[in-house]
């Protein structure tokens, strides 16, 4: 229910007179199907317990690995889909004006304390007492959300049809070692024109954009249980070591440590079943 894009459900959520509305569901699905493109007046916070959630908006694809959350501002059209087994919590939020929450879509890191608050929030009644203990929990959630660090897990998606085609080609053959000039020729562009378009539309070079795409693909595969070695080979790296170097430069940690930290902090019992 929490990812339901039906207009009646979204209207119902938007009409509940509370600053935070929990779906009261922890999804545990073999595969989270892509939702229809939709929006709602209230913002949405999707917290990933297990698996990887992908949130797609007009200009970017946001990746949400375990123990992270994606913040989707109110009224922003988006689609959501999962990779592998997915378990998550969804909260709809209409914060007071004083709350300094993110204004743009972003992926945030969830601390242990914040995680406990989100799990507790998932059990709140729809019409919780604003001036009671539940209302105070909601206020602390807003404080933690405002202070949560943002992770660079965003893949910019271009609007130019030629760049869209290039994106599809890169996803279909991530291990292809073709030069920038060769990739450009496949979409009827010169190397110079391709570089200029990427800077204009995405603000980054071809190399940076491709590495960001590899991070997206790697997180999906690693969270599905593939080994670092297998992922490295699938993405065209000569060794797990060279792949790990790229991953560490882009994300801040080597892939094995990155996933270990998230699995170690994953709660064993959510208390919501």
Residue 29: pLDDT band (50, 70, 90) is: very low
> How many DSSP H helices and E strands does the chain contain?
10, 8
d(CA 66, CA 119): 14
pLDDT of residue 33: 52
pLDDT of residue 5: 52
Question: What integer best gives the mean pLDDT of the chain?
Answer: 84
Give the residue, 168 or 5, on which the prediction is more confident: 168
pLDDT of residue 222: 83
Residue 34: pLDDT band (50, 70, 90) is: low
CATH match of 158-261 with 2.60.40.1180: no
Least confident range of 6-15, 92-101, 125-134, 179-188: 6-15
Residue 28: pLDDT band (50, 70, 90) is: very low
> What does the block give as tokens for 151?
């992770």
**Contact between residue 51 and residue 57 where contact means Cβ atoms under 8 Å apart:** no
Percent of the chain with pLDDT over 90: 46
Each residue's pLDDT tens digit, 48-80: 888 788 888 888 888 888 778 999 999 999 988
- The residue-averaged pLDDT of 137-151 equals 92
* CA max distance for the chain: 63
d(CA 135, CA 129): 6
Strand bridging mode 154-156 / 79-93 = unpaired
Answer whether 0.95 is exceeded by the pTM: no
**Contact between residue 247 and residue 255 where contact means Cβ atoms under 8 Å apart:** yes
Domain boundaries, the chain: 7-151, 158-261
d(CA 138, CA 124): 10
Q: Span 7-151: which CATH code? A: 2.60.120.810
Is a pLDDT exceeding 60 seen at residue 27? Answer: no
d(CA 105, CA 170): 24
pLDDT of residue 131: 95
Is a pLDDT exceeding 90 seen at residue 233? Answer: yes
Residue of 156, 2, 217, 184 whose CA lies nearest to 90: 2
Each residue's pLDDT tens digit, 215-232: 988 887 887 778 999 999
DSSP strand E in 35-78: where?
Answer: 43-57, 60-64, 68-72
- The residue-averaged pLDDT of 230-238 equals 93
d(CA 164, CA 267): 39
Residue 272: pLDDT band (50, 70, 90) is: very low
pLDDT of residue 59: 81
């Amino acid at each position: 229910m929490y990812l339901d894009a039906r207009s009646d459900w979204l209207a119902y959520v938007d009409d509940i007179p509370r600053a935070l509305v929990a779906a009261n569901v922890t999804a545990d699905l073999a595969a989270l199907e892509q939702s229809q493109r939709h929006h709602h007046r209230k913002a949405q916070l999707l917290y990933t317990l297990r698996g990887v959630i992908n949130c797609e908006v007009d200009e970017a694809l946001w990746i949400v690995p375990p123990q992270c959350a994606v913040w989707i501002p109110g009224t922003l059209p988006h689609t959501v889909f999962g990779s592998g087994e997915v378990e998550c919590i969804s909260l709809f939020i209409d914060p007071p004006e004083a709350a300094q929450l993110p204004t743009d879509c972003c992926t945030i890191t969830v601390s242990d304390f914040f995680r406990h608050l989100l799990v507790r929030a998932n059990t709140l009644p729809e019409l919780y007492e604003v001036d009671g203990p539940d209302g105070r929990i909601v206020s602390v959630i807003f404080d933690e959300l405002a202070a949560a660090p943002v992770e660079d897990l965003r893949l910019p998606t271009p609007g130019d049809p030629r760049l869209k085609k290039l994106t599809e080609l890169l996803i279909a053959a991530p291990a292809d070692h073709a030069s920038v000039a060769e990739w450009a020729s496949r979409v009827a562009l010169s190397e110079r024109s391709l570089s200029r378009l990427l800077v204009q539309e995405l603000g980054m070079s071809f190399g940076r954009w491709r590495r960001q795409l590899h991070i997206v693909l790697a997180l999906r595969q690693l969270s599905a249980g593939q080994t670092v070695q297998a992922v490295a080979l699938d993405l065209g790296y000569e060794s797990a070591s060279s792949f790990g170097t790229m991953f560490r430069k882009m994300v801040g940690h080597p892939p094995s440590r990155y996933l270990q930290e998230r699995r170690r902090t994953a709660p064993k019992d959510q208390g919501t079943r």
